[in-house]
Chain A
Amino acid sequence: MATPLVVSEVFKSFTMHLRDGIRLPVVADVSFSVAAGECVVLGGPSGIGKSSLLKMIYGNYAVDAGQILVAHKDRITDLATADPRTVLEVRRHTMGYVSQFLRTVPRVAAIDVVAEPLLARGVALADARQRAGALLAQLNLPQELWQLPPATFSGGEQQRVNIARGFITDHAILLLDEPTASLDARNRAVVVAMIEEKKKAGVALLGIFHDEEVREAVGSRILDVSRFSPRKSAA
């Protein structure tokens, strides 16, 4: 089986045209891979490019050079050069992402926000809702909230909706951007258990966890992103 995610010689900078075209290097010469069943933790101080790296892999940021190779439907796809509909297709079937904040859509109930990735893959509504409900229950989200749009939820409640949405599919790759940041100890433990389940199922996980306890519990290894700091390679 092909390695689910391989990042090879990736460079990224931002050019700020509104600031006299100043060029901000983000990362340089990033190479690593994530194997099935491991959870790689991105380490290093704030501002070193951890979140940017996840956004490049998910396609929200373009890269200047290099390859981002994912095993998608028995083929290797390079997301660094893929067209938009291929990126969306990879997101639908192969790669999930739990962001720090939920982008809420007005009027859509929490349970449907969670069920949506399954619907997008053709699962029937009743089945998708049932699995969404099971996940929300596992994450201790009170049942009376399930039918409400999450816009008015607390930070921790929104984050649990977001986690459920990210974990509901059997995507082979899962990117996690501080999924436990606003959770209490009980729910952190639930998420740790959910990540362990994903590892057992052979999912390749790549994440940022500022909580040391969580990092210790789930991390197979730590990848120090400061290794890829352009400031260092320039020196």
Chain B
Amino acid sequence: MSDTPLLKVKDISKFYGSRIGCRDVSFDLWPGEVLAIVGESGSGKTTLLNCISTRLLPTTGSVEYHMRDETYRELFRMNEAERRFLMRTDWGFVHQNPADGLRMTVSAGANVGERLMAIGNRHYGNIRATAVDWLERVEIDADRIDDQPRAFSGGMRQRLQIARNLVTGPRLVFMDEPTGGLDVSVQARLLDLVRGLVNDLGLSAIIVTHDLAVARLLSHRMMVMKDGYVIEHGLTDRVLDDPREPYTQLLVSSILQV
């Protein structure tokens, strides 16, 4: 069991004027750990995700990341170029809407290959071979490699976005409602795929979702947010089987049984 957290989040708050986005959030994320952030729309979960992933500047607080050279770096003290390099290589970000994370007018292969080129790969044959391999891992037929994601279904686009993010072997992946807007059958396939990839690659991940079934299937640990605050936090099984807070009890009791 590793004794150094991958990410140390301390007292993150974000205000939009006088309105609270998220307030006083602190936690450590460990290597190989999947954390789910749940809560209803407007609870602050996406604000928190964006602050941690440096897509948004928090009003207060710090986020330290354990770099590959074993040092900790404060993300908001890095310069823009260093941060972008980190996001392109060691991190992934899977958006709810694949169009936000893909380039819709270049081929599927180029979408995957682009991140490889960003870290210095120049050999066309190798890049294409890696792209084919990743398309297969996310269950997209290799003969679609030259098609643009515009021609893909929603589920395929989302799988392509995942391939694009994982091809550089990141250690940390952020996901914002990765299964939102997909049909249930497509969702199941995607969840299963993500679960397998996370296990095989030993990734750490922070997943924002309002779907407790997604959290149960994918995460080890769960944070419940309401009105910008983390109101309950613990082992996913425990939070779902024995919720303590009134709001968490309401969430859990609202799940429809099939």
Q: Which A residues have a C-beta under 8 Å from some C-beta of B? A: 14-18, 55, 59-62, 84-85, 87-89, 105-108, 119
Contacts and interface: CB of A to CB of B under 8 A. Distances in A.
Given A55-B241, A59-B235, A18 B250 contact: yes
A158 to B, nearest CB: 17
Interface string B236-258: 11100110111001100100000
Given A60-B238, A87-B235, 5 more contacts: A60-B241, A61-B242, A84-B235, A87-B238, A106-B189
21 contacts: A17-B249, A18-B249, A18-B250, A18-B253, A55-B241, A59-B235, A60-B238, A60-B242, A61-B238, A61-B242, A62-B238, A84-B221, A84-B234, A84-B235, A84-B236, A85-B220, A105-B192, A106-B189, A106-B191, A107-B192, A119-B199
Nearest 5 A/B pairs, CB to CB: A17-B246, A84-B235, A106-B188, A60-B241, A61-B242
Given A59-B235, A59-B237, A62-B238, A105 B195 contact: yes
B238 A107 contact: no
A18 B246 contact: yes
Interface in B212-246: 217, 220-221, 234-238, 241-242, 244-246
Nearest to A16: B249
Contacts of A18: 246, 249-250, 253
Nearest to A149: B192
Contacts of B33: 85
B221 A85 contact: yes
Given A105-B195, A107-B188, A17 B245 contact: yes
Interface in B26-51: 30, 33
B81 interface: no
A89 B221 CA distance: 13
A16 B192 CA distance: 33
Contacts of B78: none
A14 B242 CA distance: 8
A159 to B, nearest CB: 20
Nearest to A56: B242
Nearest to A61: B242
Contact of B244 (A62, A88, A89, A106): A62
A42 to B, nearest CB: 18
Nearest to A17: B246
Interface core residue of A59, A84, A108 (most chain B CB under 10 Å): A84
A84 B235 CA distance: 5
A89 B246 contact: no
Contacts of B30: 85
B45 to A, nearest CB: 19
A108 B192 contact: yes
Contacts of A84: 220-221, 234-236, 238
Contacts of A16: 249
Contacts of A60: 237-238, 241-242
A88 B188 CA distance: 24
B220 A107 contact: no
Interface string B138-178: 00000000000000000000000000000000000000000
B151 to A, nearest CB: 25
A148 B22 CA distance: 44
Given A18-B250, A59-B235, A84-B220, A106 B192 contact: yes
Interface core residue of A107, A108, A119 (most chain B CB under 10 Å): A107
Contacts of A17: 245-246, 249-250
B244 A15 contact: yes
Nearest to A86: B1
A62 B249 contact: no
Contacts of A88: 220, 235
Nearest to B1: A89
Interface core residue of B189, B191, B199, B235 (most chain A CB under 10 Å): B235
A9 to B, nearest CB: 19
A103 to B, nearest CB: 8
Contacts of B234: 62, 84
Interface string B172-199: 0000000000000000110110010001
